Structure 1
Amino acid sequence: MNFAWDRTLQLKTLTESQILNCCLTPAGQLVLNNAHPLDRQPTLYEKAHLRAAFYWLKHYQPNHQASQLEQVRGYLEAAHHLEQLKAWDLIRQILFVRPNIEGNSQVLHQQLGIWGLYREQIALCQPLLGKVNPQLDCLCLNDLGYAYTHLCQFPTAVDYYQHLLQLATENHNTEAQAKALGGLGLCYGNWGQYQTAWNYCQQQLQVLDRIDESCCRVQSEDAVSLESLGWEQDSYGEGSSTAVERGQTLAIMGYLAIHLRRYRKAVHYCQQAIEIACTINDRQTQWYALARLAVANAQLGKRQKALDALHQQYQQRHQNRNCRQVSVLLVNLGLVYCFQRNFQAAVTCEQELLEINQQSGDINYQCYALLTLAFIHIWQDEVQLAIEKTHQCLSLARQFNYQHHESQSLSQFSYFYSAQGEISKALHYGEQALAIAQNVSNHLYKGIALTVLGLAYLEAGKFIKSLRFIVASFIVLPPWRGGDSQLLLAIILKRLFKYYGDRFSRF
C-alpha cells in the first residue's frame, strides 16, 4: 500500500459492532478477525481508546465558525487515543487525510504547519518516528524540524534536520536530502546565522539540479518517487516538487542576500522565485518573494516602488490567515517607513506586529517589533520607552538564544548609557554587542556595535579612538549602500550635533 496517497481512514469505514470485535496485529494494525495466530483481542483499556478514536473521527462535527484548531480537533484527538494503542498505521492514515475545509488543499500534517499549529504538528508526528518505515521517518523529521524552527527552538530544529539529512543520505533519498538542506537553510536564516544558511541553500540547489537531471530515470532503482516520500507533487498546485523547492529556496536566498547586504543579488533571486511561483501557482512563495523584493529595492533607494508593492500586500492582509506571512509583511513595511523617516506609520506596523506575535508566540517577530519600536523611541529622544522595549527584547533574545537580536539590544543599551555619560557601562555593553556580532558574522550588527563604541569614546573625550570605530563602522556598513546604513549615519550625525551643540552652548 502506498501510504502517501491512501486517503481512506480505516476507522471511519467500520461500524460500532465491528470496533468491538476487531483484533490487533503485532505491528499495531487493526483487523476484523483473527487472520493470523499472533493477532490478539485488545484489552478493555485499549478498547476504550479505540472507541474514543472512532467517535472523534466519525461523529465530531465542528461548527462553521470554529477556529482552525477546532476544525481538525477530531483528527488530533483520535491520533492521541491511537498512540495509546500503538496503532501506528492508523495514525499514519490521519497524517494524510485532507480536512474538509473550504479553500484547503493540503493534507493534515502540512496544514498544521501552514496554520502555525506547530505544537499540534509535533504531537502528531513525533510518536511515529521509527515506527513505520524510513520514508515516513523522513517526512516526520522534516515536519518536526519545520515546527521547532518556527517555535524558535533552533538547536532542536537543527538536530531533526541533521537526522533527516543522515537518514536520507543512508537511503539514497535525494528528495529528502533537498528537504533537509532547505530546512537547515531556513532554520539558520531565522536564527540569524545568514552565511551558514546561505551555504545550506546553495547545497540544496545543487541537489535539486541533480534531481532534475535524473528525472527522466525516475523508474531506475536509485530513484525515489515523491509518492513514497509522502510529499505530494500537487501540494502547491501544478508543477513539479523540485520547482516548488527551488522557488522557496530562491526566496529564502533573497532574504539572506538582504541580510548579507548583497541587494542586487537579492533582487535577482526574488525575481527568479516570483517567476517560478507564478508558473506553478505557489502563492505562499510569491507572497514572501514580493515582500523581500520590495525591501531589496528599498535598500537600493527605490523606496516608493517598494512602498507601493508593500501597500498592495497590506491591503490584502485580512484575507491572509497565515500569521507568518502577515508578520513578514509588517516587518518589511515598518522597515521601509523607517527608511522614509515616517516613524508614525512605522509604529503602527510594529505595534500590530507585536500584538499578532504575542498571540501566536513567535519570539523572533516579537524581537523585531520591540527593537524597531526602541529605535524609533531613540530617534524621538523618548529614552525611558526605548529602554523598556530594549529590556524586553534582550530578555527574550537571551532566553531563546537569538544572538543577532541580543547584539542589537546590547548596542542600544550602549547608546543609552553613553548619552547619559555612563561611559564604563556604554563600553561594556558595546564590547559585548561587537563580540556577539562577530561570532554570528553579521555585518549589520557589527556595524551598529562599532558605531555605539565610537559614540561612547566620543563622550569619553577620546576623539582619535572614537574616529577609528566610526570609520570602521562605515567600512562595514557604507552609508551609500542601503537604507539601514543611512539611518545609522543619521543617528551618528544626530549625536554629533548634540555633542558639539551642548559644548558650544557653554561658551
Structure 2
Amino acid sequence: MVDTENNNTEGGVVLPSAESVLELLELDPDSLMSIKPLSKRLQYQAVVIWLTDYKCPQEVNNNLEIVKGYLEAFYHLGEVEDWERASKIIALEFDSLTQEDLLEKLNTWGYYPEQIDLCRKLLGKINYTWDSTCLKNLSQSHNSLGNYQQSMNFCEQLLVMAKNAGHHMDIETALSNQGTVHHSLGNYQKAMNCYQDGLTIAREIGDSSGIEKLLANIGSVYHSQGDYHQAINYRKQHLEITRVNRELASEARALNNLGNTYNFLGEYQSAIDCCQQSVKIAKQINYRFVEIGALANLGIAYRCIADYSNAIECYKQSLNLAREIGVRANIGNALGNLGIIYYFIADYPHAAEYCEQWLVIAREIGDVSGISMALGNLGNVYHSLGNYQKSIEYHQQSLEIVKELGNLASLGNVLGNLGNAYYSLGKYQESLEYYQQTLEISEKTGDKAVQARAMSDLGLVYKSLGNYQKSSDYQQQALVIAKEIDDIAQVARVKGNIAGTLIELKRYSEALEYLQEALAIFTKIGEPHGKAEALKNIAETHQHLGNLDAARQYCDEALAIFTELGVPELKGCQELREKLG
C-alpha cells in the first residue's frame, strides 16, 4: 500500500509519499553504499534524492513539474535497466477518483510526448502485461497528437500480440483503439465495425467497463454522422449502465455526452438538464476534467437559446478550471469556445483574440487538430468581416493540415469554408468545386449535417448562376435532410435560401411564407445574423409586392441588427432602405 502526502493535492492529484514509494521499490537509502560499481550506485542515489528532496514550488501551476521527482526517478532507474522498479513508479496511483496511475495521468493532462517516451523505454523490457499497457498508451497518445498511422500501427501490434496470447480483453481494447483512430479520420463505418466487434467480445467475457466504454464510443460515431437519435439511444444505454454500477465519475461523463447530443438535436432544455446534472456530480466528487466539458456544453445550450451572458459565464468558468489544473489542451478548447461565442454574437475582435490564443496553445502542445480548427475559426471571423482574401489564407493553412492528417470529416468542413469565401468573392466556379468535394466527402462519411449544408451551398451557387431548377432541387434535398436530423438552424437557413430562389422566379407570396418560417426559427434560437438576413429579405419581398410600409418596417429591424453587428451586409441593407424612401 502506497501512502500519500497530505499537503500536496496540486493538479487534481494526491502525491504518493517518498517513504511509501521507497518501501514499494525496496530501496533502503542507508544500504545504497553496497551497490557496485560507483556509476550504478550514483543512479540509485539520484532516485532517492528525487523522491525525497524534490518539492515543486507552490507558485508553479504545472502538472509536469508537480510529478517531476517521480519521472526523474523513473529515468535514473532506466539508466541501470532496472525496469521492474521503474515500472512500479509509473504504475503508482495518482488519482483516487479515476484510479489513474502516473502513466495514465500524463495522458489526461495532455503530456502525450512524455507518455510516449516512457512507453517506448518500457516496451519489450518486462512482460506481456507491460507490453500490452505500453502499446495501448502509445496508440492513444499518437491518436491524440494526430499521428494516426503510428497510432494504427501500435493498435495492430497489440491486436496481433493479444490474439497470439488468447487475451480477449486486450483484443477488445485493440479493436476499440482502432475504432477511435478510424473515428478521428472520419472513417465512421470502419470505426463502427471495430466498436461493434469489440462490444461483442466485451459482452462475451462480461467486461462491464468495456461494454460501457464501447456503447459510449458507438454513440459518438452516430453523433459524428449526424444521426443524433441513434446517438441518444446508445448514450442513454451508457448512462443506464453507469447508474446500475453506481459509478459517479462515469455517470458524469455519460450525462455530459448526452447533453452534447441534445444540443445538436436542438433540445436545449434537455441538454441543460443533463449538463447541470453532470456539473453537479463532477463538483461533488471533484472530477474537474468532466466539469470543464460539462460547463462547455452547458454554454453551448445557453448560447443556442440566446442566453449569451450565461453562455459566456459557463465558458469562462470552464477556462478558469482548466487553468487551475493546468491542462493546456482544455485551456485551448475553452479559449476556442469563447472565440466561437463571440463570433456567434458578431463580436469579431474578441472572437479573433480568443481564437489567436487558442492557436498559440495548440501549436505549443503540438495539437495539430486544434491548430487546424483554430485556423478555420479565424478564417470564418475574417470572412464575416468581409476580408475574404485573409479568410482564404487561414482556410488554406487549415486545409494543408487536415490533408496531412487524412481526416475526412475535417477536410469536408474546411473545403466548405473555402467554398464560402470564394462564393462571397463571386468566384462561383471555384466555390462550386469546393462544395461538390464537401458533398462527396459527407456522403462517404455519412455526416448528414455537413451533407445538408453542402447541398444548400450548391443550391446557392446554382441560383447565382441562374440555374434555378438545379438550385431548387439541391435546396429541397437539403431541407429533407435537415428536418430528418432535427437541425433547426439549418432548416431555417435552407428555407431562407429556397425563398431567395423563389424571389428570382418572382414567386413572391411563396417566398414570403418560407422567409417568415425562417425568421421564426432564427428568432427562437437567437441567431442575430440569420434573423437580420431574413428580415432584410422579407423587406425586399414586400417591396416587390408593393407593400412599402411593411417593407420599411422589416428593413428598419434588419438595419438595427446589422448596425449592431457591424457586418458587410449593412451596406446593402442601407441601400435598400434608401430605395424604400
* TM-score in terms of structure 1 length: 0.71
Instruction: Give the corresponding residue for 1:13.
Output: 27
Which aligned pairs between 1:80-479 and structure 2 lie closer than 5 A? Answer: 80=75, 82=77, 87-97=82-92, 107-125=101-119, 127=122, 131-132=126-127, 134=129, 143-144=137-138, 146-153=140-147, 156=151, 159=155, 162-163=173-174, 172-179=206-213, 182=216, 192=224, 201=235, 204-205=238-239, 207-208=241-242, 211-212=245-246, 242-259=247-264, 263-314=268-319, 318-475=323-480, 476=482, 477-479=490-492
Structure-1 separation of matches of 2:390 and 2:447: 27
The CA deviation string for residues 433-473 of structure 1, in whole angstroms up to 9 with x for no partner, is 11222333334422332233123223322122223334444
User: Which deviates the most, 250-259 or 173-182?
Assistant: 173-182
- Shift in Å at residue 411 of structure 1? 1.1
2:21 aligns to what SS in structure 1? Answer: coil
Write the letter of the residue equivalent to 1:175: S
Which aligned pairs between 1:481-500 and structure 2 lie closer than 5 A? Answer: none
Determine if contact 2:339/2:351 at 8 Å carries over to the other structure: yes
User: Which deviates the most, 139-148 or 277-286?
Assistant: 139-148
Structure-2 separation of matches of 1:52 and 1:140: 24
2:446 aligns to what SS in structure 1? Answer: coil
Determine if contact 1:320/1:326 at 8 Å carries over to the other structure: no
Distance change (3 Å), C-alpha of 1:426 and 1:50: farther
* TM-score in terms of structure 2 length: 0.63
User: Which deviates the most, 252-261 or 332-341?
Assistant: 252-261
Determine if contact 1:247/1:285 at 8 Å carries over to the other structure: yes
- Shift in Å at residue 340 of structure 1? 1.5
Equivalent of 2:43 in 52, 58, 71: 52
Distance change (3 Å), C-alpha of 1:414 and 1:140: same
- Shift in Å at residue 168 of structure 1? 6.3
Structure-1 separation of matches of 2:232 and 2:134: 24
Structure-1 separation of matches of 2:66 and 2:324: 19
Structure-2 separation of matches of 1:484 and 1:19: 73
Structure-2 separation of matches of 1:308 and 1:402: 32
- Shift in Å at residue 154 of structure 1? 5.0
- Shift in Å at residue 387 of structure 1? 0.7
User: Which deviates the most, 277-286 or 250-259?
Assistant: 250-259
Structure-2 separation of matches of 1:417 and 1:472: 23
Determine if contact 1:447/1:474 at 8 Å carries over to the other structure: yes
Q: Alignment RMSD, CA only?
A: 4.5
Distance change (3 Å), C-alpha of 1:123 and 1:164: farther
Q: How many corresponding residue pairs?
A: 444
Determine if contact 1:427/1:453 at 8 Å carries over to the other structure: yes
Determine if contact 1:417/1:426 at 8 Å carries over to the other structure: yes
Write the letter of the residue equivalent to 1:404: A
User: Structure 2 stretches of 5 or more lacking a match?
Assistant: 3-15, 159-171, 177-197, 483-489, 493-520, 538-567
- Shift in Å at residue 200 of structure 1? 6.6
Distance change (3 Å), C-alpha of 1:368 and 1:251: same
Determine if contact 2:43/2:79 at 8 Å carries over to the other structure: no
Identical aligned residues as a percent? 23
Q: Which has the higher helix share?
A: 2
Determine if contact 1:142/1:183 at 8 Å carries over to the other structure: no
Distance change (3 Å), C-alpha of 1:174 and 1:124: farther
User: Which deviates the most, 194-203 or 106-115?
Assistant: 194-203
